[in-house]
Structures are given as C-alpha cells and as structure tokens.
Amino acid sequence: MRLDPARFAGRIDGRTVELIVLRNEAIELAVCNHGARILQLIVPDRQGRAIDVVLGHDSLEQMLAGMASMGAFIGRFANRIANARFMLDGRQHLLPANDGPHCVHGGPGGSRHRVFDVIERRSDALELRLNLDSTQDGFPGDVELHLRYALEGSTLAISYRAAVSGAATPLSLTSHPFFNLDGGAEGGILDHELQIEADAFVPIGADRIALGHFEPVADTAFDFRRLRSLRSALAQGHPQLGIGPVPGFDHAFYTPGPRGVLRRQARLQGAASGVALEVWSDAPALQLYSSAPMDGSLPRHAGKAGRIYRSSAGVCLEPEQLPDAPNQPAFGDCIVRPGELLSGRIEYRLSRQA
C-alpha cells in the first residue's frame, strides 16, 4: 500500500521532483515537493491495522494530470479572490484568473503548481522553501516561504513562515489534504462525523464567491457545533448546499481568536475505522469542502491503487484567512507588508477510538 518514491522522480522547470517519506513510531507521511503535496498518511485503525487516511496519486504523471489542489500546500492566497482583482493603498491590482473570471488558490502561478526546494530532511521532519515572485504569479510583492512538516507522536504538525519584500501583498496559506479516515476503501465520507467550533459561516454566490457577510449556523445544515454526520447535515437541506451540480459543502466557517494562539477548529471521526482527527490552528476561518463535484472523470480523478475518486470521496478542512478578504472590508486585514513576517501552524492530531 505504500507509495514507491521511484515513481515520483523527475524534473519540472529544471527542478528535481521527489517523494519524501517521514515516519515515527505512530504515523507515516509521504510528501512530494511539487506543491509540497501530502500524498499518503498512514495511521493505525482501532484494530492496529495500518490504513492510509488521505487521497492521493500513485505517480508523478498521475499527480500532474489529477486535481491540482489534492494534498497541496496553498499560497499565496487560499480560496477565491473575486474577479481576480483587488484594491490596495489606492491602487488596483489585476491577478491571473484561473476559475472563470476569478483567481483561486493563488492562480496558475500559485504554490500548488510549483516545485519546492528541499532544505532539510530528517526521518521525522522536512523543511521546504519556495520563492513566490511577483513576475511569476502576478501578485504584488515577493514572498519567501519556509514550510516544515514534522511528525510529533500522533500529530502531523505543519508550520510556515512567509517573509514579504518589495510591496505589500495579501497572504492566506493553508494545507489541502483530502481526508478519508476509513482508508478510502469502503465508500466515501458522508458517514464521517464532524464537529466545527464555529457559530457562523460565510455564504457564497452561484460562482462560489463569498457574499461578504456571516450567517449563523444555529439549527441549520451548517450547524456542526456538536458531532453529526455529513450525511445528516446534507439531508437537512439548505439553499447554500445546492450551489453546484451535486449538493455539498464548499464554505468557510468563522473561527476567530487571537493571532498566534492555537485552538481546535474541528474534529472528524471515521465511520468504521475508529480513527479520529482534530484540526488545530490560529487561522480565523476553516474551509469545509465535501468534494461533492468529484465525478470519477479521468485522468482528473484517478487515485491510488487503481481507485477512481467520485463524489464525496474525501473531505477537506482548510485553516485559512476568510475568502476574498482583499475585497471584503468586514473580513479583516489579510495584507502583509514589506519587512513583515507571517507565520502559522496547523496541527492534525490523530487518535483511535476504542
């Protein structure tokens, strides 16, 4: 079941691409430095059997033909920026559009499409670096991003620091693994139970752009303040769930708190494996994506071990800034100026239920 590093060896844009495997006594992680992509996370289930709890790919070729966000580290701005433009200090900045007229996940020059430099590797930790140049991704300013993956007991800890130079820029950085805590072998994630520590969510329009305000989750399909299955939430229904060909979640939940202070944003529990996951970060929002639009089309949805990923095959829980924050005054300041440093940490804390 383990990925073969030889199948990920290659060169892209003159840079070496490889698969790097980290392990400790509790968990095992496989990361490709193209997109700093999490392709495999192996943990024990309640019977002590090793299972892989993220979706991914078997080879570099398959990965490049698949979903660009699957497992990737996202920057320089996670989620969507409306009409690929924003105003900053009295000047309009035009960005490359890659989602109709909008810019999503940093555009075509974003970190998910780039090869990270491997700076340091140990058996249980990896440090990567990527320079985001304004001439390559179309955003103002330059960013030097350092990213660290570390296995700390049963926790996968992701820490980052981004230094800005040249001009002020919006930054929203996150990790984008697709989780299936039952190992992906038996059905999808609709019977997973989810809890999100949020009293409000951000509604979106038909183009999935944030409408610029919050709505309370209480007594709606978006109320995950207590553990409930994704299936039961979808069955409850809500007009926001019908945006797209298949009902599902692609929404930010508002999880405010002090900057730099880790807090639990979500808990996810597998339906059969006994594996549980807690997401901790200091981000003001958590994007929930239930992968409803995945339709099994190839090569986009080809997965590991001959699997084909279909609707609700995995679920994403992405700590990030609020969507379209550069254009939404009510969503707070996401601008980092020259000489400033943005740092953050995401922890995926894994455990087993009896």
Q: How many Å apart are CA 155 and CA 330, to the nearest integer? A: 34
Among the residues of the chain, which ranges form H helices? 60-65, 134-137, 230-236
Q: How many Å apart are CA 33 and CA 54, to the nearest integer? A: 17
Which of 34, 105, 176, 192 is catalytic? The answer is 176
Structure tokens at 54: 């993220």
Q: How many Å apart are CA 268 and CA 246, to the nearest integer? A: 22
How many other CB atoms sit within 10 Å of the CB of residue 295? 13
Which of 278, 318, 320, 347 is catalytic? The answer is 318
176 is catalytic: yes
Cis peptide bond upstream of 299, omega within 30: yes
Q: How many Å apart are CA 335 and CA 321, to the nearest integer? A: 11
Cis peptide bond upstream of 129, omega within 30: no
- 188: three-class secondary structure by DSSP: coil
Asked if 74 and 106 touch (Cβ cutoff 8 Å), the reply is yes
* Active-site residue list: 176, 318
